[in-house]
Amino acid sequence: MLIKEAQFVRGAASWNGLADDGLPEIAFIGRSNVGKSSLINMLVGRKSLARTSNTPGKTQQFNYYLINNAFYFVDLPGFGYAKVSKAQRAKWERFISRYLSEHEPLRLVIHLVDSRHDPTSLDKDVMEFMKGGWMTYVVVLTKMDKLSGNQRGKAKSQVQKALAAFNLEVPVISSSAKNKTGKDEILQWIQDVGL
C-alpha cells in the first residue's frame, strides 16, 4: 500500500469531536513519548505532519489525519503521563476505552511499546482490553535503533510473553522511526484490513 496523501483534519477533545463520516480508522495507542507521532510521520513519509516532542504528553487530543482520502490515522493521547491530574487521567482513560470498545469505524489498533522497557501496567491494560475486541490488533516495538542486536531479540520476546499471558497471538513488529524500519510491514497490515 502506498500513502500518497496525508493531511491533518481535526483534533477531537471529546466524544462529539470524533469523526462521524463513516471512514475507517486506524488508531495509534501507547504511553507518552513512546513514538506515536514519529511513527505516523514515518508511515506517511513526512517529517512533521504529526507533532513530535521531547516533552511527554504533547498530544492531548485525538488527532485525525486523512490518508489517501480514504481512511484516518488517529493519533491517541499518550497515557501514563505523570503531570496530568488524576481526574484528567481518569477522564482520558474512560474516553479511550469507550473509543476502543464502541467506535465502529475502528478497523486496526496499533499498540506501540517502547523496546527499551518492559511493557508497563498500562500496556498490559491495553492488551487485556484488546483481548475481547473485534478489530485487528498489532503491537509495534519502537526505537529499536537504540538497542543492540542481542537486546532486540529480548525486547521482542518480552512483549510476546506479556501478550501470551492474555492468550493473545498477535504480530509484534520491530520499528525505528529514526532508521525507517518496520514501515513496509506496518503498511502491509493496513492493507490487510482492507484499506
Ligand X SMILES: Nc1nc2c(ncn2[C@@H]2O[C@H](COP(=O)(O)OP(=O)(O)OP(=O)(O)O)[C@@H](O)[C@H]2O)c(=O)[nH]1
Strands 71-75 and 62-67, bridge-based pairing:
antiparallel
Q: How far is the CB of 144 from ligand X (least distance, A)?
A: 7
Residue in 119, 12, 104 with CA at minimum distance from that of residue 62: 12
Q: Which residues contact 88 (CB under 8 A, 6 or more apart)?
A: none
Stretch that binds ligand X, among 12-20, 28-36, 90-98, 158-166 (CB under 6 A): 28-36
What value does the CA radius of gyration of the chain take, rounded to a whole number of Å? 16
Binding mask 153-182 for ligand X (x = CB under 6 A): -----------------------xxx----
C-alpha triplet 63, 67, 68: angle, nearest 5°:
160
Burial of 175 (0-12, 13-18, 19+ CB in 10 A): buried
| Residue number, 37 or 176, with CB nearest to Mg ion | 37
Q: How many residues bind ligand X (CB under 6 A)?
A: 23
Q: Which does 146 bind (CB under 5 to 8 A by kind): ligand X, Mg ion, none?
A: ligand X
Q: Which three cell numbers stand for residue 151?
A: 537486546
Neighbours of 156 (CB within 10 A): 17
| Residues from 33 through 72 that contact Mg ion (CB under 5 A) | 36-37, 59
| Residue number, 121 or 167, with CB nearest to ligand X | 121
Q: How far is the CB of 123 from Mg ion (least distance, A)?
A: 16
CA dist 143 → 114, 167, 181 (Å)? 7, 26, 10
Among 4, 9, 11, 53, binds ligand X (CB under 6 A): 53
Would you say 126 and 111 are in contact if contact means Cβ atoms under 8 Å apart? yes
* 59 is an interface residue for ligand X by CB under 6 A: yes
d(CA 96, CA 106): 12
| Residue number, 69 or 151, with CB nearest to ligand X | 151
Stretch that binds ligand X, among 5-13, 14-22, 33-41, 117-125 (CB under 6 A): 33-41
Q: Which three cell numbers stand for residue 12?
A: 477531537
Binding mask 134-153 for ligand X (x = CB under 6 A): --------xx-xx-------
Q: Which residues bind ligand X (CB under 6 A)?
A: 30, 32-38, 52-54, 56-59, 78, 142-143, 145-146, 176-178
Q: Which residues bind Mg ion (CB under 5 A)?
A: 36-37, 59
